[in-house]
Structure 1
């Protein structure tokens, strides 16, 4: 999987060009039969007011770093929505500072205290690589009760993208799995655009593409979505169906996200979260149990 910055820019342009029909672009259909449903390179170049040669170099990954004016013209010609337009700007913009492969994201103690202070709301914190940095006890019980509650502190953390595509327990949780998967893949695309030199992130993406044909197919479509609020339909193995609002908040000073799941008051889902909270075993972390057993 070629994931260099130039290849990412070219691949995104090609995916959107091939999905835009001449009719949608305002081009009159010709008399000759078209071999592809999307626009030809020369048609898009003309719409954007750039030379065919220059556009071809962008799409083939030979050139990168187009000007804002060119990017805006291409976005208009491709009928990109605001999220796609911003993603195109990010792909074509200057490279972000390198993130070392060995750099491990850390959960600030204040964030740890925050999610523990809301025990009635499932909460999870992930980084730009989709690694789980922490969760409160109810967040763990909701999303990954089959894993050790201390898993985010382990040498190899859980990764929500790998869980979503490769962990049958986690995958079965989402009744709207397809929508959730598209959002997850889109987030990884946007993270790869922000940090093209992050070799750890590239390794995550390449490994997941190799292990999951579903992920590879979805990645190739290059979805881009920006939304911080969803309504999730979950099938939980202990408490059944839950309809929960999922709010995602960007944490300041970190490329990390706080995910909160909550139910409307007096709803069946609210009752389900109460039941789930009651199912949590007191003192249930493996580390805590180990310390208690060693003290005997």
Structure 2
């Protein structure tokens, strides 16, 4: 984290756009990627010195009108726009409590009610708070199922497990960036980002891109050592009554090869657990 997240976010979005992307003529040699500060100011209808102060962190309280103009000028999507407002402290926070770290008995029972899907609960820092047996089986190549972001960037198994590791890594970082806007006072999230930035150059590079999104549905192509390739779709749901918690469900098309592989994986895992219990 830096003390000028708002300025860094604006600068990153400015760097992604070229003059022809926004209908401006290009002139002169460009020493940096993307638009110049003066060009953003023109597009947003504001004084260029004021915009420079925003990027430099010398102006930290832009009005909602200014933020609307900037999000439009920088072609931000809805999630990036929401994050911009939160960084500026103008999005309504209310009395949002700290994320809850314990999972209710009812939610644990719900996880077990998905016998054909891998279901688990994450906090905003992507710590696993609870998981059903099929999720345990699915993530077994990692050895320890503790934190999705750390597993993705620091566990060697991730490079094989995620068939498209780069895409998975980008999604994890963009989700964490979105979470920092929703939970700006959550120490666990800040600690995670700080440690990963030090431990992984790839994480640090992706974090500095300031990409932000919070996907609720997407595809996952996995390669499990016990059953081979599995094509899944995941769904993410906010848990009402438990601030910050998300229920994530990985499922396959019924009767598809991936569905059969997921079912086989569950059977193998159950057999292994029974044998381990017998040995004990």
TM over 0.5: yes
| Aligned with residue 207 of structure 2, among 193, 197, 219 | 219
SS at match of 1:50: coil
> How far apart are the structure 2 equivalents of 1:260 and 1:203?
26
Residue by residue, what CA displacement relative to the aligned partner does 1:147-199 show, whole Å, maximum 9, x if unpaired? 36xx6xxxxxx110000000112342111211111111011111112222222
Query: Please, which runs of 5 or more residues in structure 1 have no aligned partner?
Result: 152-157
Q: Say whether 1:276 aligns with 2:275.
A: no
Paired residue for 1:11, among 1, 8, 28? Answer: 8
Is contact 2:178-2:214 (8 Å) kept?
no
Partner of 1:260: 249
The one of 80, 104, 128 aligned to 1:132: 128
Query: Following superposition of structure 1 onto structure 2, how do residues 80-119 of structure 1 map, counting pairs within 5 Å?
Result: 80-94=76-90, 96=93, 105-119=101-115
- Of 133, 139, 152, the residue aligned with 1:164 is 152
C-alpha distance after superposition, 1:266-296 (max 9, x if no partner):
21001101110111145939xx959x95xxx
- The 2-side partners of 1:119 and 1:68 are apart by 47
Q: Counterpart of 1:196?
A: 184
CA distance in 2: counterparts of 1:258 and 1:18, whole angstroms: 35
Query: Which sits farther off after the overlay, 235-244 or 164-173?
Result: 164-173
Match of 2:161, SS?
A: coil
Aligned counterparts of 1:91 and 1:171: Cα–Cα separation in 2 = 33
1:34 aligned partner: 30
TM-score (norm. length: structure 1): 0.86
| Partners of 1:143 and 1:170 within 8 A in 2 | no
TM-score (norm 2): 0.90
Q: Is the 8 A contact 1:71 1:89 kept in 2?
A: yes
| Distance (Å, rounded) in 1 between the aligned partners of 2:252 and 2:22 | 42
Deviation at 1:3, TM superposition (A): 2.8
Q: Is the 8 A contact 2:118 2:250 kept in 1?
A: yes
**Quick one: which of 223, 226, 235 aligns to 1:235?**
223
Shift of 1:62: 2.6
Partner of residue 155, structure 1: none
Q: Secondary structure at the match of 2:76?
A: coil
CA RMSD across the alignment: 2.4
Which stretch has the larger CA shift, 20-29 or 275-284? 275-284
